[in-house]
Amino acid sequence: MRVSCIAFTERGYALAERIAHALSDCAQTGEDDPGWDVSVSRGFGEWKADLRAWTALAWEASDALLFVGAAGIAVRAIAPHVASKASDSAVVAIDEAGRFAVPLLSGHLGGANELAQTVARAAGAIPVITTATDVRGVWAVDTWARCAGLAVSNPEAIKRVSARLLSGGRVALYSDMPISGQLPEGVDIASDRARADIVVSPFAGANAGASVRAAETTGEVVPAGETGKPAGVRAQTSAREPLRLVVPCIVAGIGCRRGACAEAIGETFLLACGQAGISPSAVREAATIDVKAHEEGLLAFCRARNIPLVTYSAEELSQVEGSVSPSDFVRATVGVDNVCERAALADGGKLIFPKLAHGGVTVAFSKVTIELSFKER
């Protein structure tokens, strides 16, 4: 986690430096989050940073902001940037005496509660956690989603799930992936996606991916229609939309002509996602042949979507097992009869969406199995 920290007095700055060193030690020993990266700035004195400019930069460049000083300073500084539960940075304030660490924003999804607890341990402070699920000891679905690496498609539904659990009710959870560990109190596993309150899946919407799931059962890969449903199947509307948590289990195999721009690749990618009924945030990586490793358009596309690009040699791709759509032209050009489908399959997944060609770009999707867990880290 990238943390930008600012202090407003000498005493506060000394505390900030101590916290930064403690978090760095955690990273080196593997305790807590192994990825702490903390930068400390001065909000006072000769080298004083402009608070408005510092906050704007930290908001864009960091995962969390840590203010060593009055909570009111932090609230006024971040106010212009607060936008959405799904995208807001984590914000924590700790007083300069190191007595109380208070998460102010994005306690669950952004990890501010966890950061406040870690900062409190480093400073010998008391973490002041105010989120209802935490103070009541109730399972927080958004915290679990963040720890499990799941994207939240509709964060407005978190409130409904939490309210049900806080009132003593029960919620049904459906998952396309296996989940180990003891079920949290109040949570039941649902076998029917349509009746679930929480859906964990790479597929978007209530019925999306129906033809893809059918293909997994029958072993036949059949392209879905534009809505992600088999022809003749009418979408069923639900009285309430479930909380949709997107599991990153999709590998996008991509082929492209030389010089293909990021916009063209992105257009074909989104077209394929729409036809397959796959949420774009479910894609964990892009895969292609090694001769495309330096294609600027492909690299720019991966940067924009924040996914890694994995490459394979023609020999490696030719050894991938599975039914693919061969092309003599592709074989003559790069030395293997198919790029996108073979690249999608190369990591051991199952092909769920075959080659889609559009504008000089080809895309195919495979699905890998990821085991989730209810166990706390």
CB 62 within 8 A of CB 71: no
CB 254 within 8 A of CB 343: yes
pLDDT at 267: 97
65 with 160, same domain: the answer is no
Domain assignment of residue 220, yes or no: yes
Residue finishing a domain among 216, 245, 274? 245
CB 145 within 8 A of CB 201: no
260 with 219, same domain: the answer is no
Q: Could you give the dihedral angle defined by the CA atoms of residues 16, 21, 25 and 28, in that order, rounded to the nearest 10 degrees?
A: 110
290 with 308, same domain: the answer is yes
Q: How many domains, the chain? A: 3
Side-chain half-sphere of 173: how many Cα atoms within 13 Å?
A: 23
Q: Express each pLDDT in 159-188 by its tens digit.
A: 999 999 999 999 999 999 999 999 999 999
Provide DSSP, 32-100: S-TT-EEEEEESSSTTPPPHHHHHHHHHHH-SEEEEES-HHHHHHHHGGG---TTTPPEEEEE-TTS-E
Domain assignment of residue 136, yes or no: no
106 with 170, same domain: the answer is no
pTM (2 decimals)? 0.81
Tokens 């001769």 belong to 291
Q: Express each pLDDT in 231-275 by its tens digit.
A: 333 344 445 789 999 999 999 999 999 999 999 999 999 999 999
14 with 124, same domain: the answer is yes
Low-confidence ranges of the chain (pLDDT < 70): 26-35, 205-239, 376-377
234 with 256, same domain: the answer is no
Residue 5 makes CB contacts below 8 A (sequence gap 6+) with 16, 19, 20, 38, 39, 40, 41, 65, 66, 67, 68
195 with 285, same domain: the answer is no
Side-chain half-sphere of 88: how many Cα atoms within 13 Å?
A: 20
Domain that holds residue 315: 249-367
193 with 265, same domain: the answer is no
Our measurement of the distance from residue 115's CA atom to the centroid of its chain's CA atoms, rounded to an integer in Å, reads: 18
Mean pLDDT of the chain: 89
